[in-house]
Structure 1
């Protein structure tokens, strides 16, 4: 009882964080092509021992991340869930709740109880943070391990910091922006820990062995793509730091709006103005008095370096790109508003909590992507009458590994078109930004089937399914 009385506030926040992440997780969890790809790859490893030396492919540059996200998070999730794809999503949700607790713990260690409470509450309720804590995807572990990286560096536990950084780097290449922050932390340690950094450096180099083995087998594909990314920069990055300056303010407003202001643009301008002006004022005061708070400066450097790095990227900045900044932004914001007068600080905190609750993802009906994918595959197998069939997906924002995972799990007689053209082709069409017309469709997975007619069509959760059979005239016939 003493423990509960002393810690009831953080216990309540952890319970809230758990609820908004685990409530109907099976229905809310995203399950698209990337998630299907991941479980297909890891299942082959777990069931057939097919080792993999690379992880997910990056969205640009044709580069591959390291494999540790698969080994450390997807594989345990699949094992514990008996190969149900919800398993890896549960692992990510658990890590999301753990991140909330560590935001509280480290904020308390670095600053004070009020900062810790506000930071952990905002982190627990932020709609964007919740979204990326409820499905399996490699960038989704970035907030936790970027926070651990900084924490362990501050504690001079360099091996653990290196392991955290390796996991970050295997989650997204933008983890490279943590290195300047780490350098600043280490370089100010007296004396400089030369010897203590040798083994961590060796561990870091060793973590690239799987990717190097892959490159050795594939004529340096990954290294060549990495070099090309930085040398052919017309549409990717700008290596001139001063080019980032004009973009800093709108980018700061974007990340604040997305993480703290519940994605509300108008509220975001208001919160960003308070956040930015208070940050500049306190920095000015500390430099003027030559009295520095090292943790405040660390978080400010973390935020500034992250914003500069993101501003040099020439394409759209998605929410998951700044996953490595989530803890820095929210903890720093919490610290700054506690420096304001108590009444104003309380009003802002309540306002941020309310706007986060208003925009909470649980307000909307769940997409039920996992259930829908599984149900569609069940119905297709039933309609195939257990005869061989081909399958194709028409979608703007998805591709087919998720469907093929469930086909394989049910031992369905699905055939790849390049291997065998069967007597029937099932087409699933996700109508978002897509004209669902499979007849004469130029998509290779349909065109290669040949002239066809629609023999049957139906819908599952808004997704249209067509059964096509061969027909030389292309006549549309619906039974």
Structure 2
């Protein structure tokens, strides 16, 4: 998403700033890719509409506007065809997302205010400071204060239009994320990825100090961001050996099932069971989903053993476990990397 979000906003900037309407076609193309990456890309829509309509007021170019809209709808049409064949799955999901506001979004914009600073700090910490809180906090404080000083010093009428463009992009994204009630993962910032780089660069470049001090600030900021990025680069962390570990779990299941059919469930906060099912299918294990066949043994892989709540397969609300019915733990295996494996068998009496 970050690449296409950048292309989208760059194309919109070309339309708004210079009146290059042909770039609206590029914006429509890139924005369709953004939405196919994640629905939070919709938070780009407000700045897109604002700046395109501002240019449209000056120059009514219906030709490129309609062509761009047609191109966007054409690229989004596969989702429509998918919904037509699958009971409007995406439409229902989007409708639930915007109507079930108790757990998803809040439409009262002022409710986002308490969350803007934590989100802004997390964006800078995650994207600029390699997850390190101290440099992330410093940048989060310096950038808005420096920009505020520039705005007050230069007056709004002299404000650089490019800064205005990026600021609207930033505020729209922060407010939108502030209204989002669920957990915000780092990859959700994809549509805002270029923003902290632009704002920090602008603040350093235009900050009204003498050349020596400006160079010092630039070098200091560069090193403050470079050093954590090098020290905490993903290449410095050893591989988690997922394939080998998943294969060991699958081999254990195959060894213990005794050739009899079994069902499978995975308790994990961040993972899916597809890797385990794939390895089991490669090894011709007698695995069935609960839709295909409800067997007399259920193997539960628990990757949440290290979490504070631990792992409690009995009575867990996961649908594979709930569909299995009353059960008890027959056997348990512990793996050195923290994964636990349970075999559940039927327990009609519940005792």
TM-score (normalised: structure 1) = 0.60
CA distance in 1, matches of 2:148, 2:336: 53
Unaligned runs of 5+ in 1: 1-141
Q: Does 1:432 align with 2:291?
A: no
Residue 33 (structure 2) pairs with residue 167 (structure 1)? yes
Aligned to 1:151: 10
What is the rounded CA distance, in whole Å, between the counterparts of 2:239 and 2:30 in structure 1?
33
2:248 equivalent to 1:389: no
Task: Give 1 or 2 for the bigger CA radius of gyration.
Answer: 2
CA distances 1:225-250 after superposition (whole Å, capped 9, x unpaired): 43443344344333333444454334
RMSD between superposed Cα atoms in Å: 3.4
Superposed CA offset, 1:383-424 (max 9, x none): 445543332323344442331122234433212244334465
Matched residue, 2:280? 407
Partners of 1:166 and 1:352 in 2: CA distance: 33
Q: Is the contact between residue 32 and residue 75 of structure 2 (CA under 8 Å) also seen in structure 1?
A: yes
Question: Does the 8 Å CA contact 2:4/2:33 hold for their aligned counterparts?
Answer: yes
Residue aligning to 1:328: 195
The equivalent residue for 2:79 is 211
Deviations 1:73-113 (A, max 9, x none): xxxxxxxxxxxxxxxxxxxxxxxxxxxxxxxxxxxxxxxxx
State the 1:165 CA deviation. 0.5
Correspondence 1:88-167 to 2 at 5 A:
142-153=1-12, 154=14, 156-167=22-33
Query: Secondary structure of the equivalent of 1:206?
Result: helix
Cα distance in 1 for partners of 2:265, 2:93 equals 30
Aligned to 1:31: none
Distance in structure 2 (CA, Å) of the matches to 1:423 and 1:221: 32
Question: For the residues of structure 2 that align with 1:294 and 1:442, how far apart are their CA atoms?
Answer: 53
- The residue number in structure 2 matching 1:375 is 248
Q: 1:323 to 1:460 in 2, by over 3 A?
A: same
CA contact (8 A) 2:306 2:338 kept: no
Paired residue for 2:210?
none
CA 1:279/1:426 → structure 2, altered by over 3 Å: closer, same or farther?
A: same
Higher RCO (CA-CA < 8 Å; seq separation 6+): 1
The answer to whether the 8 A contact 2:9-2:27 is kept is yes
| Matching residue of 2:337 | 461
Which residue among 133, 140, 148 is the counterpart of 1:280?
Answer: 148
Residue 184 to residue 396, structure 1, CA distance change in 2 (3 Å): closer
Q: 1:245 to 1:164 in 2, by over 3 A?
A: same
Query: Is the CA contact (8 Å cut-off) linking 2:109 and 2:179 kept in structure 1?
Result: yes
Match of 1:104 in 2: none
> 1: CA distance between counterparts of 2:280 and 2:318?
21
Residue 454 of structure 1 and its aligned partner are, at CA, apart by: 3.3
The Cα shift of 1:315 comes to 3.9
Alignment of 1:179-198 (within 5 A): 179-189=45-55, 191-198=59-66
Q: Deviations over 1:241-277 (max 9, x none)?
A: 3444454334323322332233333433322121111
TM-score using structure 2 length: 0.79
Match of 1:343 in 2: 216
SS of the aligned residue for 1:211 comes to helix
Secondary structure of the residue that 1:393 maps to in structure 2? strand
Q: Is the 8 A contact 1:454 1:468 kept in 2?
A: yes
1:287-320 deviation per Cα after TM superposition (whole angstroms, max 9, x unaligned): 45x4453333322221122112222333443322
Which residues of structure 2 form unaligned runs of 5+?
Answer: 15-19, 208-213
Cα distance in structure 2, aligned partners of 1:455 and 1:239:
49
Query: Is the contact between residue 391 and residue 416 of structure 1 (CA under 8 Å) also seen in structure 2?
Result: yes
Contact 1:396 1:432 in 2 (8 A): no
